[in-house]
Amino acid sequence: MTELLSLKGLTKAYPGVVANDDVTLSIGKGEVHALLGENGAGKSTLVKMIYGLVKPDSGEMTFDGEVFLPPEPRAARAAGVGMVFQHFSLFDALSVAENIALGMEDAPKMNTLSERISEVSDTYGLPLSPDRIVGDLSAGERQRVEIIRCLLQAPRLLIMDEPTSVLTPQEVDILFETLRKLRGEGTSILYISHKLEEIRALCDAATILRLGKVVGTCIPRDTTARDMAEMMVGKVLTTPKRSGVSLGEVVLELDGLSLPSPSAFGMPLRDVSFALQKGEILGIGGVAGNGQDELLAALSGEMRAPAGMLRFKGQSIGGDGPVRRRQMGVLAAPEERLGHAAAPDMSLTENAMLTGAVREGLEQNGFLNWPAARGFAQTIIEAFDVRTPGPANAARSLSGGNLQKFVIGREVLQRPEVLVVNQPTWGVDASAAAAIRQALLDLAEAGAAVVVISQDLDELMEISDRFAALNEGRLSAPRPTEGLTVEQIGLMMGGAHGMEVAHV
């Protein structure tokens, strides 16, 4: 196989951290090459250098035999590099065609472009209407916009950054069909992911990064997922375990909960019902943007619900705000760490005070007991192994994984009767994720009821007793996780959303 892109000794340092240290890798023509690594391993920095968004400090790149150092994305695109971003680089208020035109060098007239979009979307089985406003599209459809934007420029190297994190299993299968078609046409693909089974199914070769360095390469087909995971993490992983306590009485009951979304491009909740028992973990899966944030807001009390739709131990709590619910024992930890779960510029002590005041007795007659709050923050830091110099540090200064441990620990240590968490291990390294999962399991074992909303299906399968999926604001009926197949889960999540297999 001839070589298309080769990187030699690429190094990029930011103040205080070396993001990439002497990285060398090579991608052949028509090869699907996986770039594996945990969050913070330097994958994003590496592809940003290839795409011209970041300049390397040293090292060299060659593309098709010629020296390649794109000063800006425009130059990279001109050379034949296309990129599908992890956090979509789309404009909500603009139409599909306008979004695609913005990513092209010399975009044709709008109606010609619309025709070409329909053509390409037909060929590769990615149905998309050029006139729709992007803000109204589902996450899977948004990704199609990005992919088609790249395909229209006939790229020779396609970079995909975590493309499947927003797709249902059926959509993933169809995406892989499309990618295999592209490989057949000679397009090389650099595929970034930490989902090992996907890499084993799709990729020809893999390079594993840890803390900015290449720590190994492998042929994914011939390597077990466990071996790859250990190369990625650098130590042997322990899987969380539970003792399997019997479930108690029903504590939280949702009965036909329907609420409009507070944001313009949000998803309303439609007739959501479930009953949660003491000691149970209910996993709620689903593609992002199908009502997860709204469900968390409805359960935490940020959004009030009409009387009767939401009951805690038989008592209607729909009209109560977060503080009242916390008093009763219904606690929540939202997805967004900085800005929602924690105030970025406040210290850990202050952040501990913010949600702990009611249940930990940190407040008396309107006066705040700071020494007690500091003690509470210190307890969280110790119990959850939060790496920080001390509780006086600002929440912003912690790494994502450490702050997540703090945010989850803060709720767990308040002895909740019901705990609702959204994406508890998002962007957290594997060992911290395992610790958080274990804490949730321990909490359930001690008799609390836990709702885990997550997009990580493996996580949900690992810790939850029952599984349900959100799709367009509707919740499927919860089913026991034991014996649930990937196919069944996919169907609960809404199946293929009208995608079809590419017919080239």
Which CB, 8 or 74, lies closer to other proteins? 74
* Shortest separation between residue 102's beta carbon and other proteins, angstroms: 5
State residue 295 phi and psi, 5-degree precision. Answer: -65, -45
Question: Do residues 174 and 501 lie in contact, with contact meaning Cβ atoms separated by under 8 Å?
Answer: yes
Cβ closest to other proteins, residue 131 vs residue 249: 131
- At its nearest, how many Å lie between other proteins and the CB of residue 105? 10
Q: How far is the CB of 156 from other proteins (least distance, A)?
A: 18
Contact residues toward other proteins (CB under 8 A) are 52-53, 72-74, 77, 85, 88-94, 98, 101-103, 107, 264
Question: Which C-beta is closer to other proteins: that of 72 or that of 185?
Answer: 72
The secondary structure of residue 160, as a DSSP letter, is E
> Least distance from C-beta 246 to other proteins, angstroms?
49
At its nearest, how many Å lie between other proteins and the CB of residue 432?
Answer: 23
13: helix, coil or strand? strand
* Beta strand 479-480 pairing with 474-475: unpaired
Which CB sits closer to other proteins, 90 or 189? 90
Nearer to other proteins (CB atom), residue 44 or residue 138? 44
Min separation Cβ 273 and other proteins, Å? 30
Nearer Cβ to other proteins (64/98): 98
**Contact by Cβ (8 Å): 435, 384:** yes
How crowded is residue 364: how many other Cβ atoms within 10 Å of its Cβ?
Answer: 10
Minimum CB–partner distance for residue 116 and other proteins (Å): 16
Token pair of 22 as six digits: 């002497």
Sign of the alpha-carbon torsion through 88, 51, 81, 167: negative
- Residue from 472, 401, 482 nearest 434 by CA: 401
The angle, 0 to 180 degrees and rounded to 10, between the axes of the packed helices 110-123 and 139-151 is 110
Q: Which two tokens stand for residue 147?
A: 């992919």
Residue 16: partners with Cβ closer than 8 Å, 6 or more residues away: none
Burial per residue of 272-281, b for 16 or more beta-carbon CB atoms within 10 angstroms, e otherwise: bebebbbbbb
432 phi/psi in degrees, rounded to 5: -65, -40
Which residue, 150 or 299, is less far from other proteins as judged by CB? 150
Q: Which is nearer to other proteins, 288 or 484 (CB)?
A: 288
Q: How far is the CB of 289 from other proteins (least distance, A)?
A: 16
Q: Give min distance, CB of 33 to other proteins, in A.
A: 22
Q: Which is nearer to other proteins, 1 or 93 (by Cβ)?
A: 93
Handedness of CA 225, 230, 233, 235 (dihedral sign): positive
Helix 430-445 to helix 400-412 angle (10° resolution) is 10
Nearest to 253 by CA among 277, 270, 230, 235: 277
